[in-house]
């Protein structure tokens, strides 16, 4: 019997069989600037603890994906140092204990060490909320022969949501791991996940990380 992931509102993938060679895990923006005190997210009034809570769940997903041989992509959002405005106001242009917020090369821009990319895993640097806009992600996935994406990371309603919509518009089938995504506001998190599932999961299906890990464990 073909192995699929139990998801809402239907199983993933639609084609009826989970195939590692055609599937990639995309981990969105698990950076210190979002998940650690003193970073960008805290500077704009957010609680980084609400985002870092998913780190252990994503670590478990990564471990399962690595055992199975899935392609893995990590994204980082940040501007070039040359484009940094240098404002003292809180936000993307401010400095903190981890350096200039969301500036490439600074400590805060780095991925948290618990989720550090492994050997052979792709890292896509982006300057906007979506993982596809202005990057080579689409070309990379097509060279790999991937047409199914499993997405997790932060934040659910912004960078994850934009990336899911970009993926759908490019013809990818998407599974979002709901409890491996985080947002500062619980209502916004829930609304984003619900929006993916509209029209029978037009944009994406949604499943808990455990369901995805369990499906990988059933693969031969």
Catalytic residue among 29, 33, 93, 179: 29
Of all residues in the chain, what percent are helix, strand and coil, respectively (each to 5)?
A: 40, 20, 40
| Sequence-distant (≥ 6) Cβ neighbours of residue 167 within 8 angstroms | 131, 132, 149, 151, 174
Concerning whether 159 is annotated as a catalytic residue, the answer is yes
For residue 98, CA distances in Å to 69, 103, 129, 150 come to 34, 10, 21, 30
- Which residue in 11, 35, 152, 159 is the catalytic one? 159
Among candidates 98, 118, 113, 79, which has minimal Cα distance to 39? 98
Identify the active-site residue in 35, 126, 152, 179. 126
126 is catalytic: yes
59 Cβ contact list (under 8 Å, min separation 6) = 114, 115
Q: Determine whether 88 is an active site residue.
A: no
Q: Please give the positions annotated as active site.
A: 29, 126, 159
């Amino acid at each position: 019997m073909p192995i699929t992931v139990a998801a809402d509102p239907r199983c993933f993938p639609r084609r009826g069989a989970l195939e590692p060679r055609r599937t990639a895990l995309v981990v969105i923006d698990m950076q210190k600037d979002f998940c650690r005190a003193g970073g960008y997210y805290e500077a704009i009034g957010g609680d980084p603890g609400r985002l870092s809570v998913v780190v252990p769940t994503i670590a478990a997903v990564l471990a399962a994906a690595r055992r199975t041989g899935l392609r893995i992509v990590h994204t980082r959002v940040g501007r070039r140092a040359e484009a940094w405005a240098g404002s003292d106001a809180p936000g993307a242009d401010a400095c903190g204990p981890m350096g200039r917020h969301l500036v490439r090369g600074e400590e805060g821009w780095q991925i948290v060490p618990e989720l550090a990319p492994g050997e052979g895993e792709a890292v896509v640097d982006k300057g906007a909320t979506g993982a596809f806009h202005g990057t080579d992600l689409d070309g990379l996935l097509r060279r790999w022969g991937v047409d199914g994406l499993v997405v997790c990371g932060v934040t659910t309603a912004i960078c994850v949501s934009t990336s899911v919509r970009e993926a759908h518009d490019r013809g990818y089938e998407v599974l979002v791991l709901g409890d491996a995504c985080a947002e500062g506001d619980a209502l916004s998190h829930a609304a984003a996940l619900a929006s993916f599932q509209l029209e029978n999961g037009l944009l994406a299906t949604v499943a808990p990380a455990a369901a995805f890990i369990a499906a990988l464990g059933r693969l031969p």
